Structure 1
Amino acid sequence: MIRSERAADGAYRIVTLDRPEARNALTLDGLDALEAAVVDADEPVVLLRGAGSAFCAGADLDVVESLDDPAAFAGHGQRVAEAIETAETVVVAGVDGAARGGGVELALACDIRVATPDATFAESGAAFGLFGAWGGTARLPRIVGEGAALDIALSARVVDSEEARELGLVSRVVDDPSAVARAVAENDPDALAAVKRLVRAGARGAETEADEREAFARLHGIHFGE
């Protein structure tokens, strides 16, 4: 269900949601495998992508319908999304094809989101009497703003790649997401990790100017110190 491999040039890791017959929908085991693939990556950059014609359809509906403990299932997905967000490696979501529900939420947890022209996004949970509970109600408004988040989640409508870019849901529309991962991986890995950590902390109101000074001084010592 999850395929993990080093890119041909060795610069970054490719983690593929590899269940194309189910549009890469995720089970509990798939979520665990995804978390391990990202957290255990030795490379400074991970490209997250989907096999076949979809990025990720979200949670497997057969699993959702048979849940004995829905709160635990939501918590499971939240933990994986948090692991992606806080991983030391930079995670690039390369969305090609449909991202739905939990697929959108996993992309939201990534550090960089890019889409191909064929990418589409929808928080479709409301159409099924649910909503995005893998951190989507927190991350979506933080990224696109409250008004746009409510529009997307309450309407369950499909957003195409250009609108996603205009909203800030993705930063770019590209033909080849791997080129983005490769370009990021050309930079210094210590600097990448520091920038990710500081920006993430700042978004939560936890990063201070002292943290920034200390991180800058540490990097300076690594690369320019005697």
Structure 2
Amino acid sequence: MIDVDVDADRSIRTVTIDRPAVRNALTVDGLAELETAIADADESVIYLRGSGPAFCAGADLETVSGFDGDRERAEAFARRGQRVARAIEDAPAVVVAGIDGPARGGGLELALACDVRVGTPDSTYGEPGVTFGLFGAWGGTVRLPRIVGDGNALEIALSGRTIDAGDALRMGLISRIEDDPRTVAEEIAANADDATAVLKRRLRDDRERATQERHEAQAFGKLVAAHADDIDAVLE
């Protein structure tokens, strides 16, 4: 599910979420593989991408449906996704998200955890879970307002609408639009790796987030319990 390719000459580790048939949606095992791929990196730059016509659809709804409304299992799944997002955010390497096609729900939230987000002209973004009674719970309620501001974050989350690359750039959700986002990873990898590592640590020096994430996971578990039938209906 997770493919890793290392370009030693450029000190770039390319991590590809590879489930194109389901828009690279992530299961529990997929999250574990992704966390390992991030944690094992000793390159200065990690380039995170999706296989096929999507970046990542987020949580695999078959997995969520399989919780059968069990609040504790849903909360544990949310915490697993949060842990992967934290691994991305806290990695010594600079993590660049190359977003082509849809980044939805948890997929958007994994991108939010990356240090740099670069979209193609065909990239799109959204938190559609609210349309069937859920929301992405992999740290997005913490990171989205921080990145795009409270007003934009509330509108994105509450409307469930799809945002195109131009709107994403204007609100700061992505920093650039490129036909090939990997070129940005290469630009960063060409710099002194000790300097990029120090800059990341300093720019990432933030305050308490564990309490917010705990509340987020608890809310997700409660909604999965309340909307189990709605989730099943989406899969039909």
Scaled by the length of structure 1, the TM-score of the pair is: 0.88
- Divergent runs of 4+, >3 A: none
Q: Do residues 204 (structure 1) and 230 (structure 2) align?
A: no
CA distance in 1 between counterparts of 2:50 and 2:8 reads: 18
Secondary structure in 2 aligned to 1:56? coil
Partner residue of 1:223? none
Q: Which runs of 5+ in 2 are unaligned?
A: 209-236
Deviations 1:24-67 (A, max 9, x none): 00001100111111111121001000000000000000001112
Shift of 1:153: 0.4
Aligned residue in 2 for 1:163: 167
1:141-195 Cα distance to aligned partner (Å, 9 max, x none): 0000000000000000000001000000000001111100001000111111100
Rg: which structure is higher? Answer: 1
Indicate whether 1:34 and 2:34 are aligned: yes
Determine helix, strand or coil for the equivalent of 2:204: helix
What is aligned with 1:44? 44
Corresponding residue number in structure 2 for 1:64: 64
3-state SS, counterpart of residue 76 of structure 1: helix
1:7-156 to 2 correspondences below 5 Å: 7=7, 9-67=9-67, 68=70, 69-156=73-160
Paired residue secondary structure (2:147):
helix
Give the total of aligned pairs: 204
Deviation of 1:8 after TM superposition, in Å, equals 7.2
CA distance in 2, matches of 1:87, 1:29: 20
- When the two chains are superposed, the root-mean-square deviation of aligned CA atoms in Å is 1.1
For 1:38 and 1:73, locate their aligned partners in 2 and report how far apart those are by CA, in whole Å.
Answer: 19
Distance 1:66 1:150 in 2: 29
Does the Cα contact within 8 Å between 2:10 and 2:189 map onto a contact in 1? no
Aligned counterparts of 1:159 and 1:100: Cα–Cα separation in 2: 10
Per-residue CA deviations over 1:66-110 (Å, capped at 9, x if unaligned) read: 124111111110111011100101000000000100000000000
Write the distance in 2 (CA, Å) between the matches of 1:134 and 1:102: 6
Distance across 2 between alignment mates of 1:9 and 1:174: 23
Q: Which has the higher contact order (CA 8 A, sep 6+)?
A: 2
TM-score by length of structure 2 reads 0.84
For residue 185 of structure 1, the aligned residue among 174, 180, 189 is 189
More displaced 10-residue stretch of structure 1: 105-114 or 63-72: 63-72
Corresponding residue SS for 1:54: coil
